[in-house]
Amino acid sequence: MPELPDVEGFRRVVADHATGSEVRSVRVLDPGVVHTSATGFTRALEGRVLGEPIRWGKWLRVPTRSRPEYPQLLAHFGMTGAFVWTSGEDADHRHDRVVFEFRDGSLRYRDMRKLTGLWLATEESDVAELLGELGPDAAGVSRRDLRERLTRTSRRLKPALMDQTAVAGLGNLCVDEILWRSRLAPTRSTADLDSAQWARLHARLRSVLRSSSRVGHVPDRPSWLTGHRDERDARCPRCSTALKRSRIGGRSTVWCPQCQPC
């Protein structure tokens, strides 16, 4: 599932290839992923020059270079979505849903499962309606804000960190990796952490997101929990203890009972 690091990678695709370029045409191959009329969507964006994309959590905003910066394209990538750039006369992929044509290539919204899609914002109230309940972006949240937002109610760490209204952008892989590096069990209550543990949690959150955002996904390196979570005999890369697996907050969760005691 695309999380903050993945969406940061998609942001770079747009920034590197489409920012400052005119949308020559828009081909809506699957109207089901466009949350407005396909005709209105196409007319609003064709002939527009795209501005610098902005990521907020798992969402991507792409303004146009007009005054004000509307219409704007808003994208959410669900479980399997992505922005992909192709050059030349590449044939459409079977999972291409919307294709934005430029002079030197195409930006493609590609999605197998089609759980979310693309929106068109014509004014700020449209953006507020879609994103207004999101918490601060996880990559920039302060230690104080993180603690304050996660302790408004007493709950387990894993669901609290994945609550997009508390902090935006964290998904299953990110949260498990952050908690493993913080040596905190996913079942710990947010009310039980002391100041040193909050400081460590915030520092590991920042470092995991920095490293992951550089490569555009949570990497499955041998030194990372993510690199072992899907192994048959999964063991902690730090202490070799057999990893535990269960569902917490409705999500498959992996942790080390030795490094992350309850």
Could you list the active site residues?
A: 2-3, 58, 251
Query: What is the DSSP track for the chain?
Result: ---HHHHHHHHHHHHHHTTT-B--EEEES-GGGBSS-HHHHHHHHTTPBB---EEETTEEEE-BSSSS--SEEEEE-TTT-EEEEE-TTPPPPTTEEEEEEETTEEEEEE-SS-SSEEEEESSHHHHHHHHTT---BTTT--HHHHHHHHTSS--BHHHHHH-TTTSBS--HHHHHHHHHHHT--TTSBGGG--HHHHHHHHHHHHHHHHHHHHHTS----TTSGGGTTTSTT-B-TTT-PBPEEEEETTEEEEE-TTTS--
